[in-house]
């Protein structure tokens, strides 16, 4: 048996998505910027995809801009949101994805902004009172806080953050890469200026995603070139990627509740099995449904021999998962997220992340292998 429990890194392509993309690759090869019939056909396909996505998110197609994925969308929101609005202060957390953290840090280093970090607790929860204080003290900030943490799964209340940002006249960007297609985002209600999607996290293709930009704010393009994406992102569109993204999101929304129940069931089951079978095991981040992304379970193992070989040994045993440990002082390797929540650096941590294709047999297999692999010290 070979188990794939690394769905937060990427998900397998859904065969229906592949079919859709194949159809486009085979017959709709026109350049969407060409004015002839082949071009118009490709253009129609892109605009139909944009409309599908906008309808699912309860927004207008004019607010959806296709990108090469999550990293580009995060960069565009942050760089253009800050520069084009003349903002001098940004607020984020130490738990953000590097697509956000490194972008903001580079801007601080270049002298464009002063960067503040909101306090977070040992489970990765944002301290909303501290966030409010930072907003009070720094008028017109740019706030970037992710919806679900990709390593530990802890959720941020982005509705609450949106309210606070509105109150203090801040721009709000949320990296929703891990929740897009897994939680219903209603953009007619959510007070957010920028949201992000990467298709490969929801059984779509790699190298395509989108940035949602609220119609009330305007930014200039980050990538200059042709007039694609209404002059907001130069470059010939990834037509079959965009078609695959729309299909994947459409399918994700159609079956979201069933998938959530199935995956949450597996996560809870694995958590209970691990507690029963591996003495001393604990979990990084929130695990309560409602506070935690149902696709992610981050496990902290008791101290063991060759802890740094755990992922390798799991791989040999037929299980693909990922993770790391907190950085011990003075080293620069390891997980910045686990370090930020104060996880014990001498304990190995593994992120198991599930999808609609995961099943109970795979959980049983993994727990049994973990028992073998974890030569738990007495």
Ligand X SMILES: Cc1ncc(COP(=O)(O)O)c(C=O)c1O
In angstroms, rounded to a whole number, what is the distance separating the alpha carbons of residues 254 and 179?
15
Which is nearer to ligand X, 20 or 74 (by Cβ)?
A: 74
| Binding window for ligand X (CB under 6 A); candidates: 35-43, 116-124, 126-134, 170-178 | 170-178
- What are the φ/ψ torsions at residue 11 (nearest 5 degrees)? -115, 155
Give me the 98-137 binding string for ligand X, x by CB under 6 A, dash otherwise: -x--------------------------------------
Which is nearer to ligand X, 9 or 115 (by Cβ)?
A: 9
Rounded to the nearest 5 degrees, what angle is found at the Cα of 26, between the Cα atoms of 21 and 30? 95
- CB atoms closer than 10 angstroms to residue 93: 24
Which is nearer to ligand X, 59 or 150 (by Cβ)?
A: 150
Minimum distance from residue 194 beta carbon to ligand X (Å): 13
Concerning whether 327 is annotated as a catalytic residue, the answer is: yes
Minimum distance from residue 98 beta carbon to ligand X (Å): 8
In angstroms, rounded to a whole number, what is the distance separating the alpha carbons of residues 15 and 348?
35
The overall longest dimension of the chain from CA atoms, in Å, is 73
Which is nearer to ligand X, 120 or 273 (by Cβ)?
A: 120
At a CB cut-off of 8 Å and minimum separation 6, what does 257 contact?
none
Confirm or reject binding of residue 71 to ligand X (CB under 6 A). yes
Minimum distance from residue 41 beta carbon to ligand X (Å): 27
> Which of 165, 197, 327, 374 is labelled catalytic?
327
At a CB cut-off of 8 Å and minimum separation 6, what does 188 contact?
58, 59
Which is nearer to ligand X, 30 or 285 (by Cβ)?
A: 285
| Binding window for ligand X (CB under 6 A); candidates: 68-76, 239-247, 264-272, 335-343 | 68-76
The token pair at 58 is: 């309860």
Confirm or reject binding of residue 325 to ligand X (CB under 6 A). no
Confirm or reject binding of residue 70 to ligand X (CB under 6 A). yes
| Binding window for ligand X (CB under 6 A); candidates: 64-72, 127-135, 180-188, 285-293 | 64-72
Exactly one of 32, 69, 241, 324 binds ligand X (CB under 6 A); that residue is 69
Q: DSSP assignment, residue 112?
A: S
Minimum distance from residue 339 beta carbon to ligand X (Å): 17
Judge contact between 258 and 280, C-beta under 8 A: no
Judge contact between 76 and 211, C-beta under 8 A: yes
Buried b / exposed e over 208-237, threshold 16 CB at 10 Å, is bbbbbbbeeeebebbbeeeebbeebbeeeb
Coil, strand or helix: which one is 67? strand
- What are the φ/ψ torsions at residue 274 (nearest 5 degrees)? -65, -40
Which is nearer to ligand X, 20 or 72 (by Cβ)?
A: 72
Q: Report the interface residues with ligand X, using CB under 6 A.
A: 69-71, 74, 97, 99, 146, 150, 175, 177-178, 198, 209
């Amino acid at each position: 048996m070979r188990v794939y429990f690394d769905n937060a890194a990427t998900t397998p392509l859904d065969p229906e998505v592949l079919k859709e993309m194949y159809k486009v690759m085979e017959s709709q090869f026109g350049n969407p910027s060409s004015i002839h019939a082949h071009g118009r056909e490709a253009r129609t396909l892109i605009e139909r995809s944009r409309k599908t996505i906008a309808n699912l998110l309860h927004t207008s197609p004019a607010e959806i801009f296709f990108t090469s994925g999550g990293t580009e969308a995060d960069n565009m929101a942050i760089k253009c949101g800050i520069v084009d609005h003349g903002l001098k202060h940004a607020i984020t957390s130490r738990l953000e994805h590097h697509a956000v953290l490194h972008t903001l840090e580079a801007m601080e280093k270049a002298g464009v902004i002063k960067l503040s970090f909101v306090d977070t607790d040992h489970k990765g929860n944002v301290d909303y009172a501290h966030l409010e204080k930072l907003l009070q003290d720094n008028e017109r900030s740019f706030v970037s806080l992710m919806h679900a943490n990709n390593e530990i799964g802890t959720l941020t209340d982005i509705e609450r953050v949106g309210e606070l940002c509105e109150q203090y006249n801040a721009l709000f960007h949320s990296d929703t890469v891990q929740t897009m297609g897994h939680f219903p985002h209603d953009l007619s209600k959510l007070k957010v200026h920028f949201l992000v999607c990467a298709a490969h996290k929801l059984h779509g293709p790699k190298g395509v995603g989108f940035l949602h930009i609220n119609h009330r704010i305007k930014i200039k393009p980050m990538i200059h070139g042709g007039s694609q994406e209404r002059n907001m992102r130069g470059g010939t569109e990834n037509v079959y990627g965009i078609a695959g993204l729309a299909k994947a999101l459409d399918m994700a929304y159609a079956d979201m509740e069933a998938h959530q129940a199935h995956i949450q069931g597996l996560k809870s089951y694995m958590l209970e099995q691990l507690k029963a079978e591996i003495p001393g095991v604990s979990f990084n981040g929130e695990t309560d449904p409602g506070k935690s992304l149902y696709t992610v379970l981050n496990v902290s193992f008791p101290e063991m021999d060759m802890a740094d070989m755990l992922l390798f040994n799991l791989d040999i045993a037929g299980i693909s998962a990922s993770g790391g440990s907190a950085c011990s002082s003075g080293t620069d390797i390891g997980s910045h997220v686990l370090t930020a929540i104060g996880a014990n650096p001498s304990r190995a941590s593994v992120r198991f992340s599930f999808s609609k294709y995961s099943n109970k047999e795979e959980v049983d297999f993994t727990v049994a292998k973990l028992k073998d692999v974890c030569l738990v010290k007495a």
